[in-house]
Structures are given as C-alpha cells and as structure tokens.
C-alpha cells in the first residue's frame, strides 16, 4: 500500500484501523521468529500475548513484544 498509494506508514495504519471499525478487517498480532523468519501463529488481542514464546524450528526463546507484528485479515468481502 505504501508504494502503490504513496502513503506514510501512519496513514496506512489509520486506514486499516478504519476498515477494522467498519468490520471489513480484523487485526491480529503475529508471533514471528527473528532468527529463522518463521511465523509462530497469531494472537487476537495485545493482552493475550505471552511474555515469551519458543520457536518450533530453532527453539529460541523470544520476547513476544519484540517479535510480533500487527497484521490485518479480511473478514468481510462485500
């Protein structure tokens, strides 16, 4: 979106947040291993993030806050 529409990162997140308020998108936190670049799944709410998690591949114990990304999934496609 940044390249295609020449928007700033804050503008993109504002747009995605508005789509979530309209029920089109749903936000999640994706746990991601920074060592082997493997997704370890998603968590719906910030307060559901565990303090740490272990990578299934490299068995590193990682901080959830430092190794998670806010992602959006389409839940309504009218």
Q: pTM (2 decimals)? A: 0.81
Q: Taking 80 as the threshold, does the pLDDT of residue 74 lie above it?
A: yes
* φ, ψ (nearest 5 deg) of residue 20: -70, -40
**How confident is residue 69, by pLDDT bands cut at 50, 70 and 90?**
very high
Per the CB < 8 A criterion, the answer to whether 55 and 40 are in contact is yes
What is the per-residue pLDDT across 2-44, written as a single tens digit (0 to 9) for each? Answer: 788 888 989 999 999 999 999 999 999 999 999 999 999 999 9
Tokens at 65, concatenated: 């806050």
Distance CA 57, CA 65 (A): 19
**How confident is residue 70, by pLDDT bands cut at 50, 70 and 90?**
very high
Q: Taking 80 as the threshold, does the pLDDT of residue 78 lie above it?
A: no
């Amino acid at each position: 979106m940044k390249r295609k529409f020449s928007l700033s990162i804050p503008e993109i997140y504002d747009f995605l947040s508005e789509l979530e308020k309209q029920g089109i998108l749903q936000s999640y936190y994706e746990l991601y291993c920074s060592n082997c670049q493997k997704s370890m799944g998603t968590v719906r709410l910030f307060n559901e993030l565990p303090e740490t998690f272990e990578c299934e591949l490299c068995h590193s114990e990682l901080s959830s806050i430092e190794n998670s990304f806010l992602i959006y999934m389409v839940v309504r496609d009218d």
